[in-house]
């Protein structure tokens, strides 16, 4: 991501350019905080990230974090898909040691890049006892966010990651981690060898449900729909969801609203209560793009078992 990008001399636009060693070298005082080993896992813009790559990343992090000489792991990652990547690792890394995702909103050729300070704080957190038990976090601009609830909220500002009404887990400043909050972490999966295709859509006023039908006909093994409000869709989208359910495709209903849960409040055609009765799974307050990752891992673990799948979302 941007943390490891520089302006291309010809186009002036950011492109992947910086190695892990160079990132570490660019941070004054880092060597005093910890002994750092660098692994150049890959350097791509995170818009090109896939669950398959996160699977490989998770495998690597699981291997590394087991070592007794390792206090924690920092993953530098593009901010565009960081919230999803962190959640994927949250679900699949089996350790209480800190795994800290960080990145930057301004690239390495910016006159005032945010990457070096973010790396410094991430390393402070990764080697701090105060951070034990938080699991995977997204730590940028001093704030520590839990992987499950974090989202990117601003396209260009260094203060972009927030945890909404749940609040930050903590704050890293002046070489120390301050702990505000804990989060209960329950779900863990073994790493599967591959992930089933699960498709995510956001609905809207006037949605005709065509894309849902298309995904079903093209072999999707699960669907996640960002619904309106507390989990409602219009009648045509509802028909398309019923079509998916009739083909035995699990459908998870999340919400496109920023805060709050999907609840079975409405019983009319397309209401959350009706969808749940027909077999759709309500995602609670887990955002749709992350519900997709959870459904993929759950399908890989327990197969298409409605009751077991549902239990992961409760």
With CB under 6 A as the contact rule, the residue among 51, 54, 71, 78 that binds ligand ASP is 78
Does 113 bind ligand ASP (CB under 6 A)? Our answer is: no
Beta 151-152 vs 161-162: how paired, if at all?
antiparallel
2 binds ligand ASP (CB under 6 A): yes
Residue with tokens 């399908």: 299
Establish whether 2 is a catalytic residue: yes
Least gap, CB of 146 to ligand ASP (angstroms): 20
Which CA distances in Å does 8 have to 5, 16, 42, 103, 293? 9, 9, 19, 19, 33
Choose between 62 and 76: whose C-beta lies nearer to ligand ASP.
76
Binding-site size for ligand ASP (CB under 6 A) equals 10
Is 102 a residue that touches ligand ASP (CB under 6 A)?
A: no
Asked if residue 113 lies in contact with residue 106, where contact means CB atoms within 8 angstroms, the answer is: yes
Q: Which residue of the chain is nearest ligand ASP when measured via CB?
A: 78
Asked if 79 is part of the footprint of ligand ASP (rule: CB under 6 A), the reply reads yes
Q: How far is the CB of 1 from ligand ASP (least distance, A)?
A: 3
Q: Which of residues 6-45 bind ligand ASP (CB under 6 A)?
A: 45
Q: Where are the alpha helices (DSSP H) in 111-166?
A: 115-126
Contacts for 186 with CB less than 8 Å, ≥ 6 apart? none
Q: What minimum distance in Å lies between the beta carbon of 191 and ligand ASP? A: 24
The residue from 72, 103, 209, 250 that contacts ligand ASP (CB under 6 A) is 103
User: One of 2, 79, 102, 160 is an active-site residue; which one?
Assistant: 2
Q: Please tell me whether residue 114 binds ligand ASP under the rule CB under 6 A.
A: no
Q: How far is the CB of 100 from ligand ASP (least distance, A)?
A: 16
Least Å from the CB of residue 14 to ligand ASP? 7
Q: Judged by CB, which is closer to ligand ASP: 1, or 146? A: 1
Indicate whether 46 belongs to the interface with ligand ASP (CB under 6 A). Answer: yes
Cβ 81 to ligand ASP shortest distance, Å: 6
User: Which residues have a Cβ under 8 Å from the Cβ of 217 and sit 6 or more positions away?
Assistant: none
**Closest separation in Å from C-beta 179 to ligand ASP:** 26
Stretch that binds ligand ASP, among 73-81, 91-99, 194-202, 244-252 (CB under 6 A): 73-81
Residues that bind ligand ASP (CB under 6 A): 1-2, 45-47, 78-80, 103, 105
Residues marked active site are found at 2
């Amino acid at each position: 991501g941007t943390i490891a990008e520089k302006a291309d001399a010809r186009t002036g636009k950011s492109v992947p350019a910086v190695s892990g060693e160079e990132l570490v070298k660019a941070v004054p005082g880092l060597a005093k905080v910890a002994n750092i080993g660098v692994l150049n896992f890959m350097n791509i813009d995170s818009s090109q990230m896939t669950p398959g790559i996160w699977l490989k990343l998770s495998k690597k992090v699981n291997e590394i974090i087991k070592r007794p000489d390792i206090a924690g792991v920092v993953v530098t990652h593009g901010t565009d898909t960081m919230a999803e990547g962190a959640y994927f690792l949250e679900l699949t890394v089996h350790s209480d040691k800190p795994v800290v995702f960080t990145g930057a909103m301004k690239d390495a050729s910016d006159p005032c890049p945010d990457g070096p300070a973010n790396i410094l704080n991430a390393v402070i957190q990764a080697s701090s006892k105060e951070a034990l038990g938080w699991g995977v976090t997204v730590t940028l601009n001093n704030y520590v966010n839990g992987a499950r609830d974090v989202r990117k909220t601003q396209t260009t500002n260094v203060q972009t990651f927030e945890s909404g009404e749940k609040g930050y887990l903590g704050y890293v400043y002046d070489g120390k981690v301050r702990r505000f909050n804990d989060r209960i972490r329950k779900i863990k999966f073994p790493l599967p060898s591959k992930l089933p295709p699960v498709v995510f859509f956001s609905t809207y006023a006037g949605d005709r449900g065509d894309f849902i039908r298309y995904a079903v006909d093209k072999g999707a093994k699960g669907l996640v729909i960002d619904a309106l409000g507390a989990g409602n869709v219009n009648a045509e989208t509802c028909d398309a969801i019923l079509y998916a359910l009739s083909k035995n495709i699990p459908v998870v209903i999340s919400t496109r609203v920023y805060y709050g849960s999907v609840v079975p409040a409405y019983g009319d055609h397309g209401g959350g209560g009706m969808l749940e009765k027909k077999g759709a799974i309500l995602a609670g307050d887990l955002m749709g793009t992350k519900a997709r990752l959870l459904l993929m891992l759950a399908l890989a673990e327990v197969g298409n078992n409605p009751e077991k799948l549902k239990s992961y979302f409760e």
